[in-house]
A and B are shown apart, each in its own frame.
Chain A
């Protein structure tokens, strides 16, 4: 693939730059600093692979704007223009631009780039000063590795990269030199955790020790408890003796006294107490008898006095019944008055309602009208139907008027627009407008193409002017060639003479020398002029082709312009000059938009028409419904007896009044009936009271006023009741006194019998004797009780100590003081044992706490989990290491194979290049067998490693290896332009000149080389070797002193800003 032209529309500092290139040879591009050389390299790479932001361009907003431009690429069948537009921070899409269309360039680029990806292009075909400077910063070994990697070519570099990545990853896991890495740290952590866990193993022994100690303490506690039990036994014995001796001693004394007292049998129980109680009761009963007898006598006298008041009690029950109904009778009287008033009020209300209806209405006519809820439902239903129909009809009328107005307005405006179309339909006008828009777009493209061809024609003309002087050689060349020819003829003639005169051989030599000089002069002239003529012919051919293209484009423009000019003419626009394509596009687009709007209006008008028709139909239906409702209403009025012309509201008002009057009439009838019933009840009751009064014989009362009669009867009843109660009380008291007198007589007799029986039972003849015998009996009973109590105490003491027995000898020999001393001693010993036990329990508690602490310690659990997690991480890391190590070993296999197959050819080529670059100072580049480093042999036969070379020689070796790889790739059919950006800056003059010649020859072998430099002397070196540099403009004003070195430079020819 080769580049024949760079055309930058916009990229970095460049705008509208067109730069022709020599597709088959060396192109030297000179420009001062900041002229945009690196931007050119970036642009070429960007068009081929996509634009990327340039490192260090962050502050320059130009890099963030759109980049666009094209390269003319020659690959296979003819040149193709590859164009790419990349918005800010986008790689952009490439397309191929033919004469009249653009198409995707992916397939073409894939073919042209021969599978070389961007990284390979950067790594092999683009060499810049920055890369050389990076090489200078590396140490000897690093530089050697870098250059060695270069010798392997692009795939070799990727192999080395992979190896480095694997090595870095493995070092991250295990670095055997630094003794560091993730795996190492994990192993150390594992060891630490294992050591901590091992240290915790003593917990198990401690646990065992504490358990053993717990056993010992519990054994001690058991011994102490046994001893404590023995002491308690002795103490219980002494306490038993102490408690038992007292009851035993009293029992013995009381039994002795009992034996001395006489035994009295049959004495009444509590005899003395009973005798005194009987005697007191006899005295009290006698006194009561006398008192009751006197009181009975007095009571008989009182009863005789009150016996006369018994008359009038026979009719008291009937009189009480009448008196009890007095309240009800008063209420009845009140009701009678009220019901009469209510009946009169209801009658008056009904009469008022009847008057409000008018004179035509009477009670009989009201009865004929159906005023029930069903009747009201009929009236209200008819009214609602009539009103609904009227409202609906009104709404539809308003809607119809509104739609009609809108329809007329839209129709009028559309008619004006259609009038502008001069009879054409909107669809036809829209199709024509779109066709015109497409033509205008086509015109724009043609104008762009015309400008491009003009530019190309201009460039070719200038090339022809530059080549034209080269058709004839300078005068001094002809003089030299003439001298050569003359000398050749002279020598040839001299040879003939010498051959004839002196020696044939010498003559032949002279003749040959002469012929050679002449031939050389002729050959040089022919070659030089022929080359220039050939370039002139090629230029002419391309110029002619460009002119043909230009003619065709202009014809097309005229054709299109004629068509587009006619179109505006149809619209009344001026066509005197060629219109601007942008304005035409805008006008055409506006026209299309207007027509689209008209189409929308037309659709709206149709929709309005449909809605208007529908609304009119609905209005007609509503009218019919209103008529039907009105007929129904008229029929209903006739049925009710109302006038047909009566308004609806008046009918409803009359209906309401009728309903009210009907209710009032019913109410008056009910009130009248109720008043009559109350009157009847009142008269009946009054008659009954009068009859009863006459039967009693009371003539002092007015029986027409029954309430007053009843009040008098009530007072009489109260008096009779009080008298009856007094007589009952007197009778009751007399009966009670009679019973008491009889009872007292019987009680005195019974008590005397009891007193005599007690004396007889006690064997006593008198009260005194009875008292003496009772004293003996009480003392014996007391002694028996005491003996029983002492015996119970003894039994209880024995029961509490079943294991102990009472021994008579021990009780007889008991001494209280001695026993008390023994008890004190035993209690002291028991307290000592108790204290020992308490301490033992405290120790046991402490031991148990320790055991619980060990059993509850979770440190070991946590450590084991840590250890497990570290082990898990170790497994992961080990797996990662195994993968990396295996991959690295496989990668080494691949690299060895690759070195064996690819490296020798590249090293041969690199040897040739380094020899030329160093004028034979270094002749051979080679690799020791099985090793991965480069050696360089110098002219004295010494083999030097790369690290032993100077900085400049390293760069020359770097360039040699790079060119060798490019040559090797060319052998495999991969050829791309080589971009060299000031790679000679560290070369001295001799080696720079040698490098220039090497590049020239390298380009002659079929490589396209683009050499960028900002050094004038390097441009001069190339110029001296027949390579004319292309001079890039600076952003600053040009330096005229520099122009003097390039007199043939025409800035306008290359500068397009």
Chain B
């Protein structure tokens, strides 16, 4: 067996829009629109730069609900570029993008092999007519069907085997499946050894290693939601003559979600806060592919800096300064959210995530606030209390927008709403001098 290299990518979500970005300036909007396509371009560039012999795409290459032809078109163009260098591309459909959901009439280049029920069970990986490895179609997860009975070692004199699930698959989560991550089915129910089990579908990169066998999910090539923070990309796998694996993460995401925490103090000034924010950004690793960071700041603590982050124009000014003065060359910083975490006093007033206990009147020193918090606590303490019920009790409960509102508030955490209600009540019933700036 000769040494070779391949790249393993998954969850390309080609031409899918990013979620939770908030409103975007026109200047950075094209990058956000094309983020997934740029990530795939980066995958192709990496294949060419590292002279790989194989590209594995382990599912979720498109989102069928988008009804996009731009994404599949970009995929085919990328595969055509790889065909010029005779790089084999093996694509499996994920659970979300089965082959029947792809646009009909696509013309796949000759170097592309799609894993379908009617397709071949094994795909040889050749270089100059010499067999380097075999990509076998894993049609049923052995980890589920026979987790512990068959513990087979690698048969001698067999080529390096890469197992790719027909529907992308996932890294076995439990301990039992960890025992045999290297078993694959060849479609006839017969189990065979796999040196590398390529999976996908996970929200983050994940690897299970037993001996020399790997089950690996590279995670999405481009994060599409605010929770998918940090660099995203694909995995370059190098196999030497002895079958030993080396993996390397290759970042591909042009747009990167980040969540950073800030703790403000009453003594902190605006300049201190600015420096802290820039410092937090500078501590993050930066890659060549980065073009835009969408940052969410989670702010805790009290003081004038917290008030500064609450107020519109001052906050915008501060965030503009952060975007202008950070030390990352070639990267645009855009803040898409500033979340003010409950202060300690807020938390003292709340008993659980869904509501409040009766607040201590002495703590507030105001009868109306006390009464408000008491009523809020009584309301939220009811087991049947929910935002849907709140909607039903409102004047919009039977209105034309009720269904839309119901679907929207179903996504909202009622504990957060209760916190905001409490803060609003304190604002309403605060004494005049507290309200006067």
- Report which A residues bind B (CB closer than 8 A): 117-119, 155, 158-159, 161-162, 165, 174, 176, 183-184, 187, 197, 200-201, 203-204, 207-208, 210-212, 214-215, 851-852, 854-858, 860-862, 864-865, 867-869, 872-875, 878-879, 881-887, 889-891, 893-894, 897-898
Choice from A187, A215, A856, A885 contacting B394 with Cβ under 8 Å:
A885
B417/A868 in contact, CB under 8 A: no
A668 to chain B, nearest CB (A): 78
Choice from A212, A861, A868, A893 contacting B68 with Cβ under 8 Å:
A861
Q: Determine the distance from Cα of A79 to Cα of B116 in the docked complex, in whole angstroms.
A: 97
Q: Is B421 located at the chain interface by the 8 A CB criterion?
A: yes
Choice from A176, A874, A875, A879 contacting B399 with Cβ under 8 Å:
A176
16 contacts between A and B (CB under 8 A): A158-B368, A176-B395, A183-B405, A200-B67, A204-B67, A214-B105, A868-B21, A879-B409, A879-B416, A882-B387, A882-B390, A887-B424, A887-B428, A889-B379, A891-B372, A897-B371
B269 to chain A, nearest CB (A): 25
Q: Which of A211, A851, A868 has the most CB of B within 10 A?
A: A868
Q: Determine the distance from Cα of A987 to Cα of B375 in the docked complex, in whole angstroms.
A: 43
B70/A857 in contact, CB under 8 A: yes
B80 to chain A, nearest CB (A): 12
Q: Chain B contacts of A881 at CB under 8 A?
A: 405
B387/A176 in contact, CB under 8 A: no
CB within 8 Å for A212 and B412 given contacts A159-B368, A204-B67, A204-B69: no
B417 to chain A, nearest CB (A): 5
Residue on B nearest A881 in the bound complex, by CB: B405
A208/B367 in contact, CB under 8 A: no
B338 to chain A, nearest CB (A): 13
B151 to chain A, nearest CB (A): 47
Q: Chain A contacts of B70 at CB under 8 A?
A: 855-858, 860-861
A868/B433 in contact, CB under 8 A: no
B15 to chain A, nearest CB (A): 6
Q: Which of A159, A212, A881, A890 has the most CB of B within 10 A?
A: A890
Q: Determine the distance from Cα of A893 to Cα of B371 in the docked complex, in whole angstroms.
A: 9
Q: Is B107 located at the chain interface by the 8 A CB criterion?
A: yes
- Report which B residues bind A (CB closer than 8 A): 15-24, 29, 32-34, 66-70, 72-74, 103-107, 367-368, 371-372, 375-376, 378-379, 387, 390-391, 393-396, 399, 401, 404-405, 408-409, 411-412, 416-418, 420-421, 424-425, 428-429, 431-433
CB within 8 Å for A203 and B425 given contacts A868-B18, A879-B417, A882-B387: no
Per DSSP, are chain A's interface residues mostly helix, strand or loop, or mixed?
helix
B298 to chain A, nearest CB (A): 17
A868/B421 in contact, CB under 8 A: no
CB within 8 Å for A865 and B390 given contacts A890-B375, A890-B379: no
Residue on A nearest B385 in the bound complex, by CB: A886
Q: Determine the distance from Cα of A633 to Cα of B399 in the docked complex, in whole angstroms.
A: 118
B357 to chain A, nearest CB (A): 15
A887/B371 in contact, CB under 8 A: no
Q: Chain B contacts of A117 at CB under 8 A?
A: 431-433
Q: Chain B contacts of A204 at CB under 8 A?
A: 67, 69, 103
B21/A869 in contact, CB under 8 A: yes
CB within 8 Å for A875 and B375 given contacts A119-B432, A860-B67, A886-B421: no
Q: Determine the distance from Cα of A207 to Cα of B73 in the docked complex, in whole angstroms.
A: 10
B15/A212 in contact, CB under 8 A: no
B105/A211 in contact, CB under 8 A: yes
Q: Which of B20, B105, B391, B409 has the most CB of A within 10 A?
A: B105
Q: Determine the distance from Cα of A867 to Cα of B399 in the docked complex, in whole angstroms.
A: 23
Choice from B74, B394, B404, B424 contacting A883 with Cβ under 8 Å:
B424
Choice from A176, A855, A885 contacting B391 with Cβ under 8 Å:
A885
Q: Which of B19, B74, B428 has the most CB of A within 10 A?
A: B428
Q: Chain B contacts of A215 at CB under 8 A?
A: 105
Q: Determine the distance from Cα of A887 to Cα of B428 in the docked complex, in whole angstroms.
A: 10
Q: Chain B contacts of A879 at CB under 8 A?
A: 409, 412, 416-417, 420
A882/B417 in contact, CB under 8 A: yes
Q: Determine the distance from Cα of A874 to Cα of B428 in the docked complex, in whole angstroms.
A: 25
A861/B390 in contact, CB under 8 A: no
A886/B103 in contact, CB under 8 A: no
Residue on A nearest B433 in the bound complex, by CB: A117
Q: Determine the distance from Cα of A852 to Cα of B22 in the docked complex, in whole angstroms.
A: 31
Residue on B nearest A156 in the bound complex, by CB: B368
A208/B411 in contact, CB under 8 A: no
A to B contact number (C-beta, < 8 Å): 165
CB within 8 Å for A211 and B396 given contacts A861-B70, A882-B390, A894-B375: no
Choice from A162, A184, A197, A855 contacting B429 with Cβ under 8 Å:
A162
Q: Chain B contacts of A210 at CB under 8 A?
A: 105
Residue on A nearest B36 in the bound complex, by CB: A861
B368 to chain A, nearest CB (A): 6
A158/B74 in contact, CB under 8 A: no
Residue on A nearest B372 in the bound complex, by CB: A894
Known: A879-B420, A891-B425. 14 other contacts (CB 8 A): A155-B368, A158-B368, A176-B399, A204-B67, A210-B105, A854-B69, A861-B70, A882-B391, A883-B420, A885-B391, A886-B376, A889-B390, A894-B371, A897-B375
B146 to chain A, nearest CB (A): 41
Q: Chain A contacts of B105 at CB under 8 A?
A: 207-208, 210-212, 214-215
CB within 8 Å for A184 and B401 given contacts A158-B429, A207-B69, A856-B73: yes
B425/A864 in contact, CB under 8 A: no
B412 to chain A, nearest CB (A): 5
CB within 8 Å for A158 and B428 given contacts A174-B401, A882-B417, A893-B375: yes
Residue on B nearest A870 in the bound complex, by CB: B23
B107/A886 in contact, CB under 8 A: no
Q: Chain A contacts of B372 at CB under 8 A?
A: 890-891, 894
Q: Chain A contacts of B376 at CB under 8 A?
A: 886, 890
Residue on B nearest A892 in the bound complex, by CB: B375
Q: Determine the distance from Cα of A898 to Cα of B368 in the docked complex, in whole angstroms.
A: 9
- What 10 pairs across the A-B complex have the smallest Cβ distances? A211-B105, A855-B73, A878-B408, A162-B428, A893-B375, A864-B17, A119-B432, A883-B420, A207-B69, A865-B17
A152 to chain B, nearest CB (A): 12
A882/B412 in contact, CB under 8 A: yes
CB within 8 Å for A865 and B66 given contacts A875-B408, A882-B390, A894-B372: no
Q: Determine the distance from Cα of A999 to Cα of B20 in the docked complex, in whole angstroms.
A: 64
Q: Chain A contacts of B67 at CB under 8 A?
A: 197, 200-201, 203-204, 860
Q: Chain B contacts of A887 at CB under 8 A?
A: 421, 424-425, 428
Q: Chain A contacts of B404 at CB under 8 A?
A: 187, 874
B214 to chain A, nearest CB (A): 35
Q: Determine the distance from Cα of A861 to Cα of B16 in the docked complex, in whole angstroms.
A: 7
Q: Determine the distance from Cα of A117 to Cα of B433 in the docked complex, in whole angstroms.
A: 8
Q: Chain A contacts of B390 at CB under 8 A?
A: 882, 885-886, 889
B393 to chain A, nearest CB (A): 6
CB within 8 Å for A873 and B371 given contacts A856-B70, A868-B17, A883-B421: no
A174/B417 in contact, CB under 8 A: no
CB within 8 Å for A898 and B429 given contacts A857-B70, A861-B34: no
B24/A869 in contact, CB under 8 A: yes
Choice from A208, A873, A878, A893 contacting B103 with Cβ under 8 Å:
A208
Q: Determine the distance from Cα of A117 to Cα of B412 in the docked complex, in whole angstroms.
A: 38
Choice from A119, A174, A203, A889 contacting B69 with Cβ under 8 Å:
A203
Residue on A nearest B32 in the bound complex, by CB: A865
Residue on B nearest A896 in the bound complex, by CB: B375
Q: Chain A contacts of B394 at CB under 8 A?
A: 885, 889
Q: Which of A119, A212, A865 has the most CB of B within 10 A?
A: A865
Q: Chain B contacts of A891 at CB under 8 A?
A: 372, 425, 428
Q: Chain B contacts of A201 at CB under 8 A?
A: 67
A618 to chain B, nearest CB (A): 51
Q: Which of B19, B23, B368, B399 has the most CB of A within 10 A?
A: B368
Q: Determine the distance from Cα of A174 to Cα of B391 in the docked complex, in whole angstroms.
A: 12
Q: Determine the distance from Cα of A278 to Cα of B388 in the docked complex, in whole angstroms.
A: 129
B408/A874 in contact, CB under 8 A: yes
Q: Chain A contacts of B411 at CB under 8 A?
A: 875
